[in-house]
A and B are shown apart, each in its own frame.
Chain A
């Protein structure tokens, strides 16, 4: 999109991330995705009369972990407030949230810009709250269906300052944020399943204006691509309005991914009064210094630290280290391969080559990859010892194993007749045959035309039907030609 250089787009993001706890924020119900509707619903989730919340300490720990990784200030005195409103998928008639005391304040997330530089996007806050259930309007003709499995799932809301200026930056920020939550083990980052959801606040103003334009909020963007498209489309729409002298209305809008346009869902004039007050069912909680310290001490390694480690410990080039660590699961897979005995650089080549190609072609994540790191490491080890050529390994054996993941690599290589001949007794007759056939070339070689060696190697390979180990063949030929 060619943006109008006379205008500046100002964007702030609110991202909801479902925390990777076992159970809900205030009761023991499971938060596993994909269960049959209304099966993770205790009396507490259903808001039956007399039920009370009990805080999940793990959720607090994960929120602090995220805050520390984002360089936030951690609030020592916390309480939960009730946000009161009626909605069928909100069983209590109020959402329990941290209204005035977010557990993490300030902080920033560093993004890499397209130009290759780095920029810090400032955070306003990260706070804890509970998710609502789901209203489904397309299951039955006349009635809406409610699924309360999700109700009460712990969330953190990560709110930026209005620091972003383009769709590209929005995309870079979301990519970085998703990577961060995955590295931290705070959220699975799965936007399709709704565990990471994004609201965009966007306004435009003339370049140089100090005052922000009227803000529009686009709710519930479920992929980085759609967030990017929504920002592009909305920025264009708002600039057009201003160019045509029309007013921008403060609205909440929804993005239709099918048409690539947004539509208003409500005007701000009928904004609710949420009547926030401290939830009397939950006692305020103070965070001990030692608790925060222990979380700080156990922060997992993040991408940048891994890049450095791969470069220092395993001599990987910066590019390899960065591409592998862009996806934590991919990096974990890679490390397991190395730990299973694969050499670091060849293992990196495999990750960036055959493995990534397969993932891209099949549109899969590494978690869907059929082979275990150990199985793939076994293939690499056969290449390393010369039992297998790289091409036989990466084309024929790899393809076979992807289809038969349970097969043993060595056995399969035997069956496919891919094992290289490195045995002098087997290769000697072939070498004799070639040297006899090309006696004239032997004479040329001995006169100093060393380049013909490749011809001899190639001929031996041909006669072995590709199974001769080129390295061993080379050595044997050199030996024979000396005499």
Chain B
């Protein structure tokens, strides 16, 4: 009977012959089939995964050394291109579309020996916080199937939560990895903007988007990041900084006390569930008692960040989604006799969902003449201010602690009628994307309602190693009696 706890353990059992890649793939295919009602997968590459697993087993058994992600079974969000495979962003507008190239991240995973087992459900074009805005229907939270898993990478979170793959990829533009990780009780990392190439990631908001990783251990997340990160000739916004050895770095002993900042305005915000507030306050208190530096930092911009985020991301989205016009690929209306403008209007009206249309219109509005300065230019100023303030904080501190979400997973359908309330729930996650810093959600807590919730930790740009180290420490600490 196959069981998985970490990539390290999996690799040991492959080496001592107690498991094979093919057994792993069969195990996951069986589980996926048994959990079809969760609706986490959009497409399953069963035969392909089996073939690849068998080939990897053969290579290993013939004495070839294992690649770092040898046989690791990975699911990818349906916004990441994989040559020859369906790519739809959970939207009707890309109905029937297959990518003719692979994302840089996917190519690197494959080179490192990973097995991609399927593509994962999400909110349409990664717009949403509940995974209710999908052309494939909603995804269920495996811990309580009446609740949402979060979004937009809901399928990716549930795939790891329900044990349908070892690691999964999501994308995070304003919290789309961290928020579902929080609501599903797993680890979700959004790296620094520009750490992983965006080539092959369907754009929602180009200056915010970043591929993120879901996993069940920090070491697994670190290893997956290691493989995908680094310079890429196809993305001019990706960083050329060398990628540190995260796996090795994690094992180095750290004795220095942590320097942690938190925002009282955030922890005592009226929208925050008091139990979540209390849990984080307690953690901070304990860490201080253990000799770490824990300090409140005033943060006056909190109420401006959600508006700034929605102005800037919708502006970029309105332009990024222009290419879906029914001319070259994807969905085209079946109505005949339309002129070119009618073709655009009808195609896009028929195939985009409500939330996507709302954001395209909002973004078009904030960029239009007469409103541009009042919205777009001002939001950019907020972003700049926020960047500067954050840099000041990181002069004195290594980490900022925040909640990931204001509440635990709510019921399906509960908030779909109030988009504003839904947007405001992004209050804690959008900051990292506005500033471009790495952030992680760690599954440290459980609510009295039985649902999990997490702690969000942020570090300065390109300080993933430091972020992974403190994450490891916090999870270890939580596991100790």
Contacts and interface: CB of A to CB of B under 8 A. Distances in A.
A280 B234 contact: no
B99 A48 contact: yes
Given A94-B322, A281-B206, A49 B328 contact: no
A114 interface: no
B316 A92 contact: no
Interface in B12-28: none
A50 B81 contact: yes
Nearest to A51: B199
Given A55-B236, A275-B368, A283-B237, A47 B323 contact: yes
A88 B319 contact: no
B81 A275 contact: no
Nearest to A271: B369
Given A48-B329, A49-B97, A93-B323, A281 B376 contact: no
B467 to A, nearest CB: 24
A176 B9 CA distance: 73
A84 B87 contact: no
A154 B234 CA distance: 18
A420 B236 CA distance: 69
Name the residue in A43, A49, A54 with the highest tally of chain B Cβ atoms < 10 Å from its Cβ. Answer: A49
B431 interface: no
A94 B237 CA distance: 19
Given A275-B364, A281-B206, A92 B237 contact: no
Interface in B264-316: 315-316
A86 to B, nearest CB: 5
Contacts of A281: 203, 206, 236-237
Contact of B199 (A52, A91, A92, A94): A52
A277 B234 CA distance: 22
A179 interface: no
A94 B206 CA distance: 14
Given A50-B81, A88-B340, A277-B376, A282 B236 contact: yes
Contacts of A94: 319, 322
Interface in A50-90: 50-55, 82, 84, 86, 88
Given A48-B329, A277-B367, A84 B322 contact: yes
B4 interface: no
B203 A283 contact: no
Name the residue in B94, B203, B341 with the highest tally of chain A Cβ atoms < 10 Å from its Cβ. Answer: B203
A46 interface: yes
Contacts of B372: 275
A49 B202 contact: yes
Contacts of B236: 52-55, 281-283
Contacts of A280: 205-207, 237, 316
Contacts of B198: 50, 52
A277 B325 contact: no
A84 B199 CA distance: 22
**What's the interface size class on A, roughly?**
20 to 34
A130 to B, nearest CB: 14
B81 A49 contact: yes
Contacts of B255: none
**What's the interface size class on B, roughly?**
35 or more
A51 B329 CA distance: 14
Name the residue in B80, B81, B328, B340 with the highest tally of chain A Cβ atoms < 10 Å from its Cβ. Answer: B328
Nearest to B208: A280
Contacts of B42: none
Contact of A275 (B101, B202, B319, B344): B319
Interface string B187-230: 00000000000111111011100000000000000000000000
A248 interface: no
A273 interface: yes
B101 A43 contact: yes
Nearest to A47: B323
Contacts of A275: 318-319, 364, 367-369, 372
* Secondary structure of the B contact surface, majority rule: loop
B327 interface: yes
B319 A277 contact: yes
Contacts of B470: none
Contacts of A283: 236-237
B89 interface: yes
B76 to A, nearest CB: 12
A50 B199 CA distance: 6
Nearest to A54: B236
Given A50-B202, A52-B198, A275-B367, A93 B319 contact: yes
A51 B99 CA distance: 11
Given A50-B81, A52-B234, A93 B325 contact: yes
Interface in B357-402: 364, 367-369, 372, 376
Contact of A91 (B81, B323, B369): B323
A99 to B, nearest CB: 13
Contacts of B350: none
Given A49-B202, A52-B234, A282-B236, A273 B369 contact: yes
A46 B376 CA distance: 29
A146 interface: yes
B235 interface: yes
Contacts of B367: 84, 275, 277
A49 B364 CA distance: 20
A156 B200 CA distance: 29
A187 B43 CA distance: 48
Contact of B322 (A46, A86, A277): A86
A58 B50 CA distance: 46
Contacts of A43: 100-101
A50 B103 contact: yes
Contacts of B418: none
Given A43-B101, A86-B344, A277-B376, A50 B322 contact: no
A281 to B, nearest CB: 5
Contacts of B252: none
A365 B202 CA distance: 48
Nearest to A142: B337
Name the residue in A46, A281, A283 with the highest tally of chain B Cβ atoms < 10 Å from its Cβ. Answer: A281
B414 interface: no
A129 to B, nearest CB: 16
A271 B89 CA distance: 33
A328 to B, nearest CB: 35
Interface string B31-67: 0000000000000000000000000000000000000
Contacts of A88: 325, 327, 340
B171 to A, nearest CB: 10
A49 B340 contact: no
A49 B237 CA distance: 17
24 contacts: A43-B100, A47-B323, A47-B328, A48-B81, A48-B329, A49-B94, A51-B101, A52-B237, A53-B236, A54-B233, A55-B236, A91-B327, A93-B325, A94-B322, A273-B368, A275-B364, A275-B367, A275-B368, A277-B315, A280-B206, A280-B237, A281-B237, A282-B237, A283-B237
Given A46-B329, A86-B322, A88-B340, 17 more contacts: A46-B328, A48-B81, A49-B81, A49-B97, A49-B203, A50-B99, A50-B201, A52-B199, A55-B236, A91-B327, A93-B322, A93-B323, A275-B369, A280-B237, A281-B236, A281-B237, A282-B236
Interface of A: 43, 46-55, 82, 84, 86, 88, 91-94, 146, 273, 275, 277, 280-283
Interface of B: 79-81, 87, 89, 94, 97, 99-101, 103, 198-203, 205-207, 233-237, 315-316, 318-319, 321-323, 325, 327-329, 340-341, 344, 364, 367-369, 372, 376
